[in-house]
Structure 1
Amino acid sequence: MPWFVALALLVVPILEIYVIIQVGQVIGGWPTVGLLLVESALGAWLIKREGRRAWNALQNSLQTAKMPGRELADAALVLIGGTLLLTPGFVTDIAGFFFVLPFTRPLARRGLSAFLGRRLTTRMTTGGPAGFTGFIPGAGPTRPGPTHPGPTHPGATPPRASDDVIQGEVIDPDKK
């Protein structure tokens, strides 16, 4: 994943400059600058409106004790889209509008959910960071032992035993 970010940081500015030059050759320099300014102003207004909506939905979800999964995803998409809209250029503006507009955000949310689902599945099967696998339902135990004999799904690699196991006894102070 870090290589993808590094590649994007190199390719996206070059692509943006190329598209701006191409648009400038078709409609002229000043109209291109004006179009970029109009896109930025429209993006800022849209970010403010949709950001407020996402924030209110998140607060409402928390006040009603509802799990805010959709609301958190919307807030994250508005944040990412807002960052892209504030970056000058046509390509990032298209992606930013896709993340921020209320009628395209559900598609972006599904894509984000699929991406995160794949990442979590990969982490679950490869072991991921220490302690992370135990968080995922169905991931199985992290260490073999008397109550946890080993991996619970086919193709899983057995966890490594470590020397940091301390034998002990749990004493409940309420039971006397």
Structure 2
Amino acid sequence: MSQPLKIAVILVLAALPLLEIGLLIRLGQAVGIWWLAAFILGTALLGTYIIRKVGMSVFERALSRLNSDREGFSPLFDGFLQVLAGLLLILPGVLSDVAGLVLLIPQVRRFTIRTGLLKLVTFFHYQAEVSRGAFRTSEPPSHDETDGIVIEGEYERLSERPLHPGKSVQPRRYGRRY
């Protein structure tokens, strides 16, 4: 990711809570504080219900996916997006609640899986290939380098008697130092 894009993402993430607070204040003025509190509490309860209902089944599907190759990764991503929707519903805020409610629509989740997650996986795969290639050299390694890195050194265990008398380390002294 380029530097200006990183800065833009950081600024958007920093402005998002301020926008959420502003929208909550405006919505509270428009509908009243009690309706706003009921809306926030209702979406939080809905999000908690979704996470409890879908959360464990996602882990069970992941484990069954590891044991057999009968289904693809699409149901796992679908469950992940449902859990993400639940988390967004738990967060207090109008934008996060709307995003969570939109993610609960199955067609939106399927569209997100087909487009967004595929691009995300290819992006991270590309980044991993670039990172792996950064450590490779253009010339083939010599015969000496193929055996690995060798670090030579000597050590002595302080808890045991020294192997060579006269070359031991001074024993530790516990007590006052003057």
- What is the TM-score of this pair, normalised by structure 1? 0.62
Q: SS state of the match for residue 130, structure 2?
A: coil
Counterpart contact for 2:82–2:104, Cα < 8 Å: yes
Q: Which residue identity does 1:166 align to in structure 2? A: S
Q: Note closer, same or farther for the CA distance 1:67–1:129 as it changes in structure 2 (3 Å cut).
A: farther
Distance 1:53 1:103 in 2: 20
C-alpha displacement at 1:118, in angstroms? 5.4
C-alpha displacement at 1:81, in angstroms? 2.8
Counterpart contact for 1:85–1:96, Cα < 8 Å: yes
Count matched residues: 141
C-alpha displacement at 1:131, in angstroms? 4.3
1:31 aligns with 35
Q: Note closer, same or farther for the CA distance 1:78–1:4 as it changes in structure 2 (3 Å cut).
A: farther
2:159 aligns with none
| Moved segments of 4+, more than 6 Å | none
C-alpha displacement at 1:32, in angstroms? 0.5
- What is the TM-score of this pair, normalised by structure 2? 0.62
C-alpha displacement at 1:119, in angstroms? 1.8
Q: Which residue identity does 1:161 align to in structure 2? A: S
Structure 1, residues 10-50: CA drift from partner, whole Å, max 9, x if none? Answer: 12111111211221122111210111001100111012112
2:166 aligns with none
Counterpart contact for 2:91–2:97, Cα < 8 Å: yes
Counterpart contact for 1:58–1:68, Cα < 8 Å: no
Q: For residues 36-51 of structure 1, what are the structure 2 equivalents within 5 Å?
A: 36-51=40-55
Report the identity percentage. Answer: 26
1:112 aligns with 116
Counterpart contact for 1:39–1:93, Cα < 8 Å: yes
C-alpha displacement at 1:123, in angstroms? 3.6
Residue 165 of structure 1 pairs with residue 169 of structure 2:
no
Q: SS state of the match for residue 130, structure 1?
A: helix
Counterpart contact for 2:51–2:87, Cα < 8 Å: no
Counterpart contact for 1:40–1:86, Cα < 8 Å: yes
Counterpart contact for 2:50–2:82, Cα < 8 Å: no
Structure 1, residues 141-163: CA drift from partner, whole Å, max 9, x if none? Answer: x96xxxxxxxxxxxxxxxx625x
Distance 1:59 1:101 in 2: 25
- Structure 2: give runs of 5+ residues left out of the alignment: 147-178
Residue 128 of structure 1 pairs with residue 130 of structure 2:
yes
Which of 54, 59, 71 is equivalent to 2:63? 59
1:97 aligns with 101
Counterpart contact for 2:88–2:99, Cα < 8 Å: yes
Distance 1:8 1:117 in 2: 23
